[in-house]
Amino acid sequence: MDRLFELGSEFWVAAYETLYMVALTLLIGGAIGLLLGVVLYSTRPGSLLPNRAVFNVLNVVINFFRPIPFIIFLAAVQPFARYVIGVGIGNDALVFSLSIAASFAISRIVEQNLITVSPGAIEAARAMGAGPVRILRTVVIPEALGPLILGYTFIVVAIVDMTAMAGFIGGGGLGNFALVYGYRQFEPAITWAALLLIVIFVQALQFFGNWLARKVLRR
Amino acid sequence: MALVALKNVTKTYPAPEKGGREVVAVDDVTLDIEPGDVYGIIGYSGAGKSTLVRLVNALEPASSGSIEFDGRELTGLPERELRKVRLGIGMIFQQFNLFTSKTVQGNIAYPLKVAGWSKAEIAPRVAELLEFVGLSDKAKSYPEQLSGGQKQRVGIARALATSPRLLLADEATSALDPETTQEVLELLKRVNREFGVTIVVITHEMDVIQSIATKVAVMDGGRVIENGDVFEVFSAPQNTSSQRFVSTVVKGVPSPAELAVLRERHEGRIVTISFRDGDASQAQVFLELARAGLDFELVYGGINDIQGRAFGHLTLAIRGEDAATDAALASIAARVEVTEAA
């Protein structure tokens, strides 16, 4: 326990790093995932902008990357990260790789939630003369907003989980802190302190997501 | 000039399975809908009526034939142009299809936003529509807080927002209880009367046609098998399918099974007399029977009022001398239709 107090400031830095990685990944991966999910949804046969080629290509690409274990993906994408953001190690390199992985996962969640929107509401909007892009923006996404928020909440918890691997490419965060100062130095109290803070983060995120979804769904 | 003119319109869908036959949903339909009509389209589910109505506002493209709305040919128009056409055609649905994420006023404002109205123009128009459908106090409610009838009234307000000339009602009352159905039908009548909106009503319920339609088309297997004035079709349906629909609201000639029951309970000859507006009155017929010294009672049937014109079938059990009965019936048959049960 004394050791934890000695490391106090580093503990909080690690906490901040976790939050930074989660927030940035959610922002970038969330936006790209939303876009991909909407494209998947709207290009499928019989949807608003059916396009078999786009749908099939995207479908195959997502199915290719989704099952790759993240720790291997992290290593595999490293050269690409170096090329695009100029750095292959550290928190930013993790955010880069994690954003890609998360956007594929998010695209599926977005697609699945958009499919549940009532075809009747879409037909009504079409009957009123609305075009496909307007319908996506003003009907499909708003109608699916509640489940979308719950989907994003689910994924953000997974993102917290994956930031724990940042240490693998020289990044920080609570996961790395737990391994470096706790596990490797035989200080279970430190491992548990990091673990508890992660649990608190996850609980807070889940609580906030549920609250927001309830508000949107008016239940 | 007809507001909607369908000429030899056919809609086919590709075969559901490979090697199967393509599905003909609408088969060579020719139909004119005049401005001011309340045009009923009746048929069993799968008869093609919902597809037909979706061809009129081009939600589905026709496979062949011509569809004119307000003098303009719709087939072959690009999607961008069709969207403008749809702004001038309102539509309401069986499941109401309100946007659950928007309030009542948000729902009604939606088509106005699509039409490019400014916020300042939208607010008074929405208020006016809410007033018309009697839901001014529900402006900020969400659809799930409304009853079925209220939801459909929002649907009607939303469909009328851009002042369309044509309103398509796809089974608009089928999810409602009988009382609410009447309320919604009354509202549609007002829409037709006060705004002169032409209405196409799709239904499988003959009483809906009876209460609001001026003209009716009966569909079966994708074809229009009979159409015309509601009074004509109701009082003298030409086709077995039409007859079946009419019999759901009009008690006509008793069926063989009903006849057997009537015979068991009533002595004498069973005779059905069919009255139509303009024929001899009931009083004249009954007077004739009484004069012949015949004893009769009314055992089956009824008189209906369609668009202010009466018709009906009355089945009588007549007791008396055969010769006198024959003479009286012959004299009545000269003026109204008489069918004697074998």
Per-residue pLDDT of chain B (342 residues; tens, 9 = 90+): 899 999 999 999 988 888 788 889 999 999 999 999 999 999 888 888 999 999 999 999 999 999 999 999 999 899 999 999 999 999 999 999 999 999 999 999 999 999 999 999 999 999 999 999 999 999 999 999 999 999 999 999 999 999 999 999 999 999 999 999 999 999 999 999 999 999 999 998 888 988 899 999 999 989 999 999 988 888 888 888 888 888 877 777 777 888 888 888 888 888 888 888 766 677 888 888 888 888 888 888 888 888 778 888 888 888 888 888 888 888 888 888 888 876
**Contact flag B110-A123 (C-beta cutoff 8 Å):** no
Both tokens assigned to B104: 């009542």
The 10s digit of each residue's pLDDT in A74-107 is 999 999 999 999 988 989 999 999 999 999 999 9
Overall average pLDDT of the A121-130 stretch: 96
For residue B317, the enclosing domain spans 256-340
* Shared-domain flag, residues B187 and B55: yes
B37: CB partners within 8 A, 6+ apart: B3, B198, B199, B214, B215
Residue to substitute from B51, B59, B101, interface A, most A β-carbons within 10 A: B101
* Shared-domain flag, residues B118 and B85: yes
pLDDT at residue B5, rounded to an integer: 94
* Shared-domain flag, residues B208 and B79: yes
**Contact flag B86-A134 (C-beta cutoff 8 Å):** no
Q: How far apart are CA B190 and CA B196, in angstroms?
A: 9
Overall average pLDDT of the A51-63 stretch: 95
* Shared-domain flag, residues B46 and B74: yes
pLDDT at residue B338, rounded to an integer: 84
Nearest chain A residue to B86 by CA: give it.
A129
- The residues that bridge with B40 in the sheet, in sequence order, are B201, B216
Residue to substitute from A128, A133, A148, interface B, most B β-carbons within 10 A: A128
Cα-atom radius of gyration of chain B, to the nearest Å? 24
**Contact flag B101-A142 (C-beta cutoff 8 Å):** yes
pLDDT at residue B291, rounded to an integer: 86
* Shared-domain flag, residues B142 and B268: no
Both tokens assigned to B171: 């089974």
* Shared-domain flag, residues B183 and B129: yes
Contact B117, A143 (CB under 8 A): no
* Shared-domain flag, residues B238 and B263: no
Q: How far apart are CA A18 and CA B137, in angstroms?
A: 49
Q: How far apart are CA B209 and CA B49, in angstroms?
A: 14
**Contact flag B86-A127 (C-beta cutoff 8 Å):** yes
Cα-atom radius of gyration of chain A, to the nearest Å? 20
pLDDT at residue B268, rounded to an integer: 84
Q: How far apart are CA A147 and CA A158, in angstroms?
A: 17
Return the SS3 of B43: coil
Domains of chain A by start residue, with CATH:
21-173 (1.10.3720.10)
For residue B185, give how far its alpha carbon lies from the nearest alpha carbon of chain A (Å): 20
Q: How many domains does chain B have?
A: 2
* Shared-domain flag, residues B231 and B324: no
Residue in this structure with the two tokens 């079709």, named with its chain if needed? B233
pLDDT at residue B277, rounded to an integer: 73
Reference B210, options B175, B240, B250, B254; nearest CA is B250
Reference B170, options B262, B56, B328, B84; nearest CA is B56
C-alpha of B323 from chain center: 45
Q: How far apart are CA A193 and CA B171, in angstroms?
A: 63
- Residue A9 to residues A3, A138, A193, B22, B195: CA-CA distances in angstroms? 12, 47, 13, 73, 74
B101: CB partners within 8 A, 6+ apart: A142, A143, A145, A216
Q: How far apart are CA B308 and CA A137, in angstroms?
A: 49
Sheet holding B337-340, edge to edge: B295-306, B309-319, B269-276, B337-340
Q: Which residue has the higher pLDDT, A16 or B286?
A: A16
- Count contacts between A and B (CB, < 8 Å): 68
* Shared-domain flag, residues B28 and B167: yes
Comparing CB atoms, the residue among A126, A142, A216 nearest residue B59 is A126
* Shared-domain flag, residues B237 and B290: no
Q: How far apart are CA B50 and CA A155, in angstroms?
A: 41
Residue to substitute from B13, B77, B87, B99, interface A, most A β-carbons within 10 A: B99
Helices A8-43 and A91-115: crossing angle in degrees, nearest 10, is 40
Contact A104, A36 (CB under 8 A): yes
A137: CB partners within 8 A, 6+ apart: none
CATH number, domain of B301, equals 3.30.70.260
Q: Which residues of A touch B114 (CB under 8 A)?
A: 125, 128-130, 134
B4-13 and B64-69: which strand pairing? antiparallel
Q: How far apart are CA B289 and CA B333, in angstroms?
A: 12
Contact B191, B156 (CB under 8 A): yes
Comparing CB atoms, the residue among A120, A121, A129 nearest residue B86 is A129
Q: Which residues of A touch B83 (CB under 8 A)?
A: 129-131
CATH number, domain of B192, equals 3.40.50.300
**Contact flag B57-A123 (C-beta cutoff 8 Å):** no
Interface of A with B (CB under 8 A): 118, 120-121, 123-131, 134, 138-139, 142-143, 145, 216, 218
Q: How far apart are CA B39 and CA B213, in angstroms?
A: 6
* Shared-domain flag, residues B180 and B325: no
Q: How far apart are CA A65 and CA A166, in angstroms?
A: 19
Domain end marker among B199, B233, B249: B249
Domain end marker among B249, B268, B294: B249
B337-340 and B309-319: which strand pairing? unpaired
pLDDT at residue A4, rounded to an integer: 66
Residue in this structure with the two tokens 């996404």, named with its chain if needed? A141
Q: Which residues of A touch B140 (CB under 8 A)?
A: none
* Shared-domain flag, residues B297 and B192: no
Domain end marker among B181, B215, B249: B249
Q: How far apart are CA B65 and CA B24, in angstroms?
A: 14
B198: CB partners within 8 A, 6+ apart: B3, B4, B33, B34, B35, B36, B37, B38, B39, B165, B166, B167, B192
Both tokens assigned to B272: 């059905």
pLDDT at residue B235, rounded to an integer: 83
Nearest chain B residue to A124 by CA: give it.
B97
Torsion of CA B127, B133, B137, B143, to 10 degrees: -100
